Amino acid sequence: MRNFGLGKKSLEQWVTKEATCLCAAFADQAGRPFSPKVLLNKAVSNAIASLIFGCRFEYNDPRFLKLLDLLEDGLKEESGFLREVREGDDEEPLPSELLKAGQLPAVLNVIPVLLNIPGLAAKVFPAQKALIALLNELADEHRRTWDPAQPPRDLTDAFLDEVEKAKGNPESSFNDKNLCLVMADLLSGGSATTSITLAWALLLMILHPDVQRKPSLEAGGWGVGRVQQEIDEVIGQVRLPEMEDQAHMPFTMAVIHEVQRFGDIIPLGVPHMTSRDIEVQGFLIPKGTTLVTNLSSVLKDETFWKKPFCFHPEHFLDSQGHFVKQAAFVPFSAGRRSCLGEPLARMELFLFFTCLLQRFSFSVPAGQPRPSDHGAYGLLITPAPYELCAVPR
């Protein structure tokens, strides 16, 4: 991932191109109220697709729409898989009790060895099975145009190069099955998280117009706000944003970081497992123990953040208005097993957010109630459904 494109100019160009397509889709709404969720998901998924396949899909491409549907259904399957345990009694339910309730996914969570029963996983997680089948189809198409004598066009080419090198080595993890699993992991793990964060960003912009823009002295008018003012001063209205602009945009950077902190979309992180016995603060954690990291306890720590339960971009600014990194900012988890896609996610959040705020002013549709800033709980914390108006600047 690092060698192929993460953090490099070639990938930035893909994301910038996709941001332009996203802005065009927003412009098509002609200022009418709409939910940005689907368009944001299409744009972010396309950025991942560019990394994997070296091309983007049109937003109305039937196969792309099928891919997005399967990703969403797979997330729902996984969400139900985990929620049965989270929302149960204090004690973990017995497998027999779950079976009586018809919650086979939860049984598999309690006894994962059952997944070895032939055909069982496919019946319980049909969307995930269908997703792998579709990715196999896309990988086969890619393989037909792959030339090992040429530099890799994308991550799939790079993986196929390694598969070729590993031929005859049964211990290698570079094989066709793992290629599709890597594709699935990147698409499912990288698209929903970033698109949901962007949905939080736009929601918080319409709830906090003083952050996006501020009322002018003229009655009924709007002046340029702090994010848009910074965009206009550093980038202007002609050229597209670039990653180098971050260094000159402390308030915009503070807003993006505060969106991630406040949104807190993965409060319990991703489960990990200890590779050896280890002692932490006097507690012995044996090898093979599953660990769940309470990221929310850090992102909402009342002893660290001035206003932990409010949207407050000043958390990331010093008294001179300079951007400040905070030790308690851990939305990507921490340590050697922190999020692999963090550099791409940071790139997408900055480029998509600044492109949208450069082109549009966002507001609550006239006559609609003010949306809530309380999230809907699932595998990921998503904003409650809302609509906005995107008015060209």
Is 339 annotated as ligand-binding?
yes
Partners of residue 201 on adjacent β-strands: none
At what angle are helices 176-207 and 126-145 packed, to 10 degrees?
A: 110
Checking if the pLDDT of 102 tops 70, the result is: no
Cβ neighbors of 90 (< 8 A, separation 6 or more) are none
* Highest mean pLDDT (candidates 111-115, 165-169, 254-258): 254-258
- In the predicted model, what is the mean pLDDT of the chain? 85
Enter the tokens of residue 318. 């010093």
Enter the tokens of residue 370. 């003010």
The beta strands (E) that lie in 138-289 are given as: 272-273, 278-280, 283-285
Q: Give CA–CA dist 65/192, Å, rounded.
A: 14
Q: How far lies 317's CA from each of 252, 288, 388, in Å?
A: 10, 41, 28
Checking if the pLDDT of 106 tops 80, the result is: no
A 10 A CB-CB count for 388 gives 23
pTM (2 d.p.): 0.86
- Per the CB < 8 A criterion, the answer to whether 193 and 345 are in contact is yes
Q: Give CA–CA dist 23/39, Å, rounded.
A: 10
Greater confidence, 240 or 176?
240
* Highest mean pLDDT (candidates 5-19, 88-102, 346-360): 346-360
Enter the tokens of residue 102. 């018809």
- Per the CB < 8 A criterion, the answer to whether 35 and 369 are in contact is no
Query: pLDDT above 90 covers what percent of the chain?
Result: 59
Could you tell me the domains of the chain? 9-392 (1.10.630.10)
Q: Across residues 219-235, what is the average pLDDT?
A: 74
* Residue owning tokens 């407050």: 312
Q: Which of 16-25, 96-105, 346-355 has the lowest mean pLDDT?
A: 96-105
Q: Is 209 helix (H, G, I), strand (E, B) or coil?
A: helix
DSSP code of residue 152: P
* Helices and strands in the chain: count of H runs, count of E runs: 14, 8
Which pLDDT value is given to residue 255? 97
How does strand 360-363 pair with strand 290-291? unpaired
Question: Residue 365 — φ and ψ, nearest 5°?
Answer: -55, 140
Q: Across residues 227-254, what is the average pLDDT?
A: 95
**Predicted confidence band at 9 (pLDDT cuts at 50, 70, 90)?**
low
- Per the CB < 8 A criterion, the answer to whether 41 and 393 are in contact is no
Checking if the pLDDT of 344 tops 50, the result is: yes
The beta strands (E) that lie in 16-174 are given as: none
Cβ neighbors of 34 (< 8 A, separation 6 or more) are 387, 388, 390
Which pLDDT value is given to residue 100? 42
Checking if the pLDDT of 94 tops 50, the result is: no
Q: How many alpha carbons fall within 13 Å on the CB side of residue 309?
A: 2
Handedness of CA 36, 41, 47, 53 (dihedral sign): negative
Q: What is the dihedral of CA 79, 206, 346, 9, to 10 degrees?
A: 130
Enter the tokens of residue 223. 């002046």
With residue 234 as reference, give the H or E element that holds it: helix 226-234
Q: Across residues 47-60, what is the average pLDDT?
A: 90
Q: Give CA–CA dist 101/304, Å, rounded.
A: 43
